């Protein structure tokens, strides 16, 4: 009897891209067709797109994550909890912190990291909304500043100043949560709300660059009404233990702040660089089948990949929406390769729209080409959030983890 | 028509002693008999004897406090929210941060502060369970250490080490809460409980010096089973940003710890020293009528006063029990003076017993001379807690703020 060698499929990362690849692939192939291994740092998946809520403290981090075991089929997918150190694509090997794996096909879906563009002090003194660990540290850091305020003989109002670097998507969503959270914190720690400052610093000439100007105006004025100060066209020059230094043209200003959150830059995983792939800020320009140049058996999905939008001649922004679509296609193509039957399909993103939340009760967005704001956009945002759960874990995961407080 | 001059009674501090004085006095005298003014830093009273729970995070600080307005009769007692800077007894004046008061009769009930006995670094780097502000800062500080643990590349286990200085009453009660809280924190922040250390350092040759040895043994072994390490007969020599230095005989040891809570020393208010009263560590040896030597119109109750127990020839320990009894007597004596009728009564403490909690579900104690431990002592402790509410605010305050989770 001849044992047919089953190919080893290794998936790195259980974020939107990697987990989608795994759950689709486990449907497409049978137990005897492939060995599928999923590697992830934690034994849980988290909703990256909800991390700004956990960071502000408006949603508990346990609401933002679920066990990977809940959605994978153990008979088909082997789960390894470990940290990926690097890939050796020439030898088809993956080095983990506590071991090593070999593969026939590899999917890299290690997501994003914070990019500080070499701005002095940001790495050391600013927080970034990067994962569950970071999110709950931000929440606790802010609470600690409030808790400390009244214990000091000389009150230092700057403890109650929170700087958010960047008025992009993540910055604005975080500001929306913060603006709702601050009144709660003031009550909790007997702090006068007038003492609290939330300052958003953005180097570009507008908040949410690229978004519809009318919607941007809606978002900015709503946040301003809730007390957020915007410093637009202003760049962070340095971050120190005391706060930040900013510049607008020639004018340099120091802003003292107990908390600085950097939300203005992401890059692909450092594992991409470590592994020697040709990349720009950890993002590999993949071929239409999502493969790394030079390696037919290495797929890259999600924020570690880069694809050019031919209409605008600019890269698609890294989004969960695209990561999931890539995961789905990647699983299909892997099934083709495993069975040696059918043809590889190229990736075609299907952008349904973009919704930016402004707290639990408001949002702005463009969905299927239609502009919306207020309660309607907020409802749509929750539907988008629930859809991600649905695509990966089906209706039962939506029931367990979904967002249903619509009003 | 002759306006009779109503005497000004000023009460400083709305802790157990001061608030008890105020609520009893408002019953004893009519609206036209005296002007009563109560001064306190905050507009709320807190249960000092429950602060170890708020500090550990096992009871929310809002459960530990209530508005002073809820228990005083506004038609008789004027409430001033301000901080007392000093008393000028020669001129019958009280200097407040934002004003000044004159009095005919004064009650000083400003309670305790932390005493660090000059041990290097304790003031700067250790916390103390002193009031609501301090308690919630301790809670948040510990949470922040747990929240930070997983965000650091190199895990620093000492973040998860908590040192409690002192195995007296307050130290042991705090350890009981901590031991119950740690498993919750480990779950909240995905921390392995084996990494957490709770270390109690006590210079005396036993925990709870003066308490029944059998009960001490019960308490220590219960806490040890829950993971507390005791270093008895060991003195804290220094506190640093990294932890503490201790010595047992000639052996010196450094213990790295993210959190140090000093629970081994209290003294009376610094206002006592500022005002030039003769005192030992802010405690004034009062006469049998609770008056400061040399000033017939100045009464001192609670932790700022000192009385000798003639049976043991040692001072009574500062307790809420005594502070409340003193407040009650002080109000009676003030009524005598205001009406110029009757005779002053000397203070005779009526010690009903002492119960030391070991978390919400266990305790040790001696009540009416009877030793008790376990569920029975724990029940008794909650009754003692409710009794303080009852004495100051009657049954309605017990209903609002009482402890009824008995099992
Ligand atoms: C606050 C915020 C809000 C956002 N909102 C939206 C939105 O509304 N809509 C939208 O489409 N996009 C949004 N995005 C962008 C979106 O979250 C990302 O594009 C998406 O998460 C990328 O998916 P991914 O699968 O590539 O990586 P991720 O979701 O980041 O997952 C990567 C996974 O890999 C694991 N991992 C990383 N490194 C290692 C390692 N070395 N070893 C082992 N495991 C590792 C991580 O633990 C994680 O589980 C938002 C981003 C942020 C930060
Ligand atoms: C954790 C812990 C547990 C304890 N457990 C027990 C127990 O189980 N049983 C027991 O009998 N005793 C216990 N004690 C001791 C007891 O709490 C004190 O003896 C008691 O609080 C003293 O009462 P007091 O009225 O003197 O002062 P406090 O209750 O301390 O009240 C002083 C008041 O004065 C205010 N104040 C202070 N300074 C100023 C200022 N400069 N200006 C204006 N206002 C000011 C404060 O805000 C406070 O409201 C415990 C103590 C601690 C710390």
Could you tell me which residues come within 8 angstroms of residue B246 by beta carbon, excluding any fewer than 6 positions away? B201, B231, B234, B235, B236, B237, B252, B253, B255
Residues B132 and B234 reside in one and the same domain: yes
- Give yes or no: residues A197 and A294 share one domain: no
Cite the beta strand spans of A82-202 per DSSP E: 84-88, 93-96, 99-102, 105-108, 112-114, 161-165, 197-202
Identify the residue whose tokens are 């005497």: B7
Is residue B151 a part of any domain in this protein? yes
Which of these, B97, B112, B80, lies nearest to B11 by C-alpha position? B80
Domain final position from A333, A351, A369: A351
In this structure, what DSSP letter does residue A49 have? G
Q: How far is the CA of B271 from the centre of ligand 2 (A)?
A: 15
* Euclidean distance between CA atoms B293 and A397, whole angstroms: 73
The answer to whether residue B107 sits within a structural domain is yes
Rounded CA-CA distance A270/A22 in Å is 22
Are A169 and A208 within 8 A, CB to CB? yes
> Strand A305-306 relative to strand A284-285: parallel, antiparallel, unpaired?
parallel
Both A161 and A252 in a single domain? Answer: yes
Biggest alpha carbon distance in chain B? 82
Q: How far is the CA of B239 from the centre of ligand 2 (A)?
A: 25
CB contact under 8 A, A137 and B143: no
What average pLDDT does this structure show over A142-165?
97
ipTM of model: 0.81
Q: Tokens 């009757």, residue? A: B342
Phi and psi at A52, nearest 5°, equal -65, -30
For residue A296, give every residue at least 6 positions away whose Cβ sits within 8 Å of its Cβ, in sequence order, or none: none
Higher pLDDT, A32 or B87: B87
Q: Are both A133 and A256 inside the same structural domain?
A: yes
pLDDT tens track for B222-278: 999 999 999 999 999 999 999 999 999 999 999 999 999 999 999 999 999 999 999
Distances, alpha carbon A205 to alpha carbons A230, A232, A244, B368, in Å? 11, 6, 20, 75
Q: How much is the pLDDT for B5?
A: 82
Looking at the predicted structure, is the pLDDT value of residue A1 above 60? no
Q: Does B139 touch chain A (CB under 8 A)?
A: yes
Whether residues A148 and B137 touch (CB distance < 8 A) is answered with yes
A132 & A252 share domain:
yes
Per-residue pLDDT, B405: 77
Of chain A residues 42-71, which have a CB less than 8 A from chain B? Answer: 42
pLDDT at B3 over 70: no
CB B144 to CB A144 under 8 A?
yes
Let me know: does B334 contact B107? Beta carbons within 8 Å.
yes
CB contact under 8 A, A147 and B136: yes
In this structure, the answer to whether residues B231 and B128 fall within a common structural domain is yes
pLDDT beyond 70 at B8? yes
Tell me the mean pLDDT in the region A71-93: 97
Q: Residues B163, B189: one domain? A: yes
Q: Do B144 and A139 touch (CB under 8 A)?
A: no
| Percent of chain A topping pLDDT 70 | 99
The gap from C-alpha A30 to its chain's centroid, in whole angstroms, comes to 32
Residues B251 and B287 in one domain: no
**CATH code, domain carrying B276:** 3.50.50.100
Nearest neighbour of B144 by CB, restricted to A141, A151, A189: A141
Mutate to test the interface with B, among A125, A148, A190 (most CBs of B within 10 A): A190
- Tell me whether A134 touches chain B (CB under 8 Å): yes
Asked if residue A274 belongs to a domain, the reply is yes
Closest-CA residue of A relative to B131 is A151
Exactly one of B47, B53, B113, B173 is catalytic; which is it? B173
Q: Is B141 on the interface with A (CB under 8 A)?
A: yes
Mean pLDDT of A162-191: 97
Q: Check if A221 contacts B (Cβ < 8 Å).
A: no
Q: Can you give the C-alpha Rg of chain A in angstroms?
A: 22
> pLDDT band at A74, cuts 50/70/90?
very high
Q: A136 CA to chain B: closest CA distance, Å?
A: 6
Is pLDDT at B93 greater than 90 in this prediction? yes
Which residues in chain A have their CB less than 8 angstroms from residue B136's CB?
147, 189
Which ligand 1 atom minimizes the distance to the CA of A317? 19
What amino acid positions of A are annotated as catalytic residues?
173
- Residue of chain A whose alpha carbon sits nearest to that of B137: A147
Shortest Cα–Cα distance, B152 to chain A (Å): 9
Lowest mean pLDDT among A10-19, A44-53, A85-94, A367-376: A367-376
Partner-chain contact B136 A144, CB within 8 Å? no
Number of structural domains chain B divides into = 2
Q: Which atom of ligand 1 is nearest to the CA of A174?
A: 1
Ligand 1 centroid to Cα of residue A134, in Å, is 13
Q: Does the distance separating the beta carbons of B139 and A148 come in below 8 Å?
A: no
pLDDT digits (tens, 9 = 90+) for B373-405: 999 999 999 999 999 999 999 989 998 999 887
Residue A225 has a pLDDT of 97
Describe the crossing of helices A320-339 and A374-401 by its angle, rounded to 10 degrees.
40
Task: Give the strand pairing for A44-46 and A65-67.
Answer: antiparallel
Ligand 1 center to A249 CA (angstroms): 34
Nearest of B260, B366, B357 to residue B58 by alpha carbon: B357
Let me know whether B204 and B312 are in one domain: no
Question: Residue B240 is inside which H or E element, if any?
Answer: strand B235-240
Write down the mean pLDDT value for chain B: 95
End-to-end CA distance of chain A: 64
CA of residue A121 to ligand 1 center, whole Å = 24
Residue nearest to atom 37 of ligand 2 (CA): B110
Q: Which of B134, B144, B190 sits opposite A140 (nearest CB)?
A: B144
Nearest atom, ligand 2, residue B305 CA: 26
Q: If residue B84 lies in a helix (H) or strand (E), which one and from where to where?
A: strand B84-88
Are B137 and A143 a contacting pair at CB < 8 A? Answer: no
Shortest distance between the Cα of A151 and any Cα of chain B, in A, equals: 6
- Rounded to an integer, what distance in angstroms lies between the CA atom of residue B399 and that of residue A108? 59
Task: Name the least confident of A13-22, A182-191, A375-384.
Answer: A375-384
Q: CB distance from B151 to chain A under 8 Å?
A: yes
B264 lines ligand 2 (CB under 6 A): no
Residue of A303, A340, A341 lying closest to A131 (CA atoms) = A303
What is the per-residue pLDDT across A315-329, written as a single tens digit (0 to 9) for each?
999 999 999 999 999
Instruction: Name the DSSP class of B154.
Output: S
Nearest to B297 by CA among B88, B14, B33, B27: B88
Ligand 2 centroid to Cα of residue B234, in Å, is 28
Nearest ligand 1 atom, CA A319:
19
Tokens 């797109």 belong to which residue?
Answer: A49
- DSSP code per residue over A330-370: HHHHHHHHHHT-S-PPPP-----EEEEESSTT-EEEEETTE
Task: Answer yes or no: do A211 and A337 share one domain.
Answer: no
Choose one of A241, A262, A283: the last residue of a domain: A262
pLDDT band of residue A6 (cuts 50, 70, 90) is: very high
What length is written for chain B?
407
B49 inside domain: no
Q: Which of A237, A230, A232 is nearest to A203 (CA)?
A: A232
Does A285 fall in a domain? yes
Residue of B135, B144, B192 for testing the chain A interface, max A β-carbons within 10 Å: B144
The distance of B296 to chain A (nearest Cα, Å) reads: 33
The verdict on residue A175 lying in a domain is: yes
Is B145 part of any domain?
Answer: yes
The Cα of A134 is separated from the nearest Cα of chain B by a number of Å equal to 6
Does residue B53 line the site of ligand 2, with CB under 6 A?
A: no
What pLDDT is recorded for position A407?
A: 58
Protein residue closest via CA to atom 12 of ligand 1: A319
Residue A187 touches chain B, beta carbons under 8 Å: no
**Residue A325: which H helix or E strand, with range?**
helix A320-339
If you average pLDDT over residues B300-312, what whole number do you get?
95
| Integer Cα distance of B238 and B244 in angstroms | 6
**Domain membership flag for residue A361:** no
Contacts of B48 (CB under 8 A, 6+ apart): B15, B16, B111, B131, B320
B148–A137 C-beta distance less than 8 A: yes
Contacts of A151 in chain B (CB under 8 A): 133-134, 137
Query: C-alpha distances in angstroms, B166 versus B181, B214, B247, B334?
Result: 19, 19, 14, 38
Which residue, of A242, A262, A282, is where some domain finishes? A262
Element (H, E) at B248: strand B243-248
Q: Considering every ligand atom, which ligand is closest to the CA of A284?
A: 1
Q: Do A147 and B140 touch (CB under 8 A)?
A: yes
The partner residue sitting opposite A151, judged by closest CB among B133, B147, B189, is B133
The whole-angstrom separation of Cα B397 and Cα B66 is 9
My answer on whether B86 and B35 are in the same domain is yes
Average pLDDT, chain A: 95
Using a CB-CB cut-off of 8 Å, the residues of chain A touching B137 are 144, 147-148, 151
Distances (CA, A) of B104 to A236, B7, B90, B235: 60, 6, 12, 46
CATH number of the domain encompassing residue B206 = 3.50.50.60
What pLDDT sits at residue A404?
A: 84
Supply the range of the domain harboring residue B254.
Answer: 122-262
Whether residue A332 is found in the same domain as residue A236? no
Q: How would you label A87-119 residue by residue, b for 16+ Cβ within 10 Å and e otherwise? A: bebeebebebeeeebebbbbbbbbbbbbbbeeb
Question: Is the pLDDT reported for residue A105 higher than 90?
Answer: yes
């Amino acid at each position: 009897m001849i044992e047919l060698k089953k190919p080893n499929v290794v998936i790195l990362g259980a974020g939107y891209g990697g987990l989608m690849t795994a759950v689709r692939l486990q449907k497409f192939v049978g137990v005897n067709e492939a060995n599928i291994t999923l590697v992830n740092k934690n034994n849980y998946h988290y909703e990256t797109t909800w991390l700004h809520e956990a960071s502000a403290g408006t949603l508990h981090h346990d609401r933002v994550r679920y066990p990977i075991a809940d959605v994978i089929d153990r008979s088909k997918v082997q789960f390894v909890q470990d940290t990926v150190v690097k890939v050796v694509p020439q030898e088809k090997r993956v080095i983990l912190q506590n071991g090593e794996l070999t593969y026939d096909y590899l999917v890299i879906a290690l997501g994003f990291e914070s990019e500080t563009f070499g701005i002095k002090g940001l790495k050391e003194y600013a927080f970034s909304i990067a994962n569950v660990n970071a999110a709950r540290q931000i929440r606790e850091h802010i609470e600690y500043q409030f808790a400390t305020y009244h214990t000091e003989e000389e009150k230092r109002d700057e403890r109650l100043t929170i700087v958010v670097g960047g008025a992009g998507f993540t910055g604005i969503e975080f500001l929306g949560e913060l603006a709702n959270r601050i009144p709660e914190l003031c009550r909790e720690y007997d702090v006068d709300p007038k003492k609290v400052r939330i300052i958003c610093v953005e180097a570009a000439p507008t908040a949410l660059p690229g978004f519809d100007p009318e919607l941007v105006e809606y978002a900015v004025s709503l946040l301003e009404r809730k007390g957020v100060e915007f410093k637009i066209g202003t760049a962070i020059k340095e971050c120190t233990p005391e706060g930040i230094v900013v510049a607008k043209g020639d004018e340099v200003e120091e802003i003292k702040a107990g908390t600085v959150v950097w939300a203005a830059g992401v890059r692909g995983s450092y594992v991409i660089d470590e592994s020697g792939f040709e990349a720009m800020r950890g993002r590999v320009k993949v071929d239409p089948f999502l493969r790394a140049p030079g390696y037919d058996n290495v797929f890259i999905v999600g924020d570690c990949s880069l694809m050019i939008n031919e209409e605008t001649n600019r890269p698609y922004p890294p989004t969960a929406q695209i990561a999931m679509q890539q995961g789905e296609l990647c699983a299909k193509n892997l099934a083709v390769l495993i069975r040696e039957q059918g043809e590889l399909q190229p990736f075609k993103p299907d952008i349904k729209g973009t919704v930016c939340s402004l707290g639990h009760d408001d949002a702005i967005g463009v969905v299927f080409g239609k502009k919306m704001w207020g309660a309607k956009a907020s409802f749509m945002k929750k539907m988008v959030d629930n859809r991600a759960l649905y695509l990966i874990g089906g209706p039962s995961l939506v029931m367990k983890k979904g967002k249903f407080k619509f009003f």
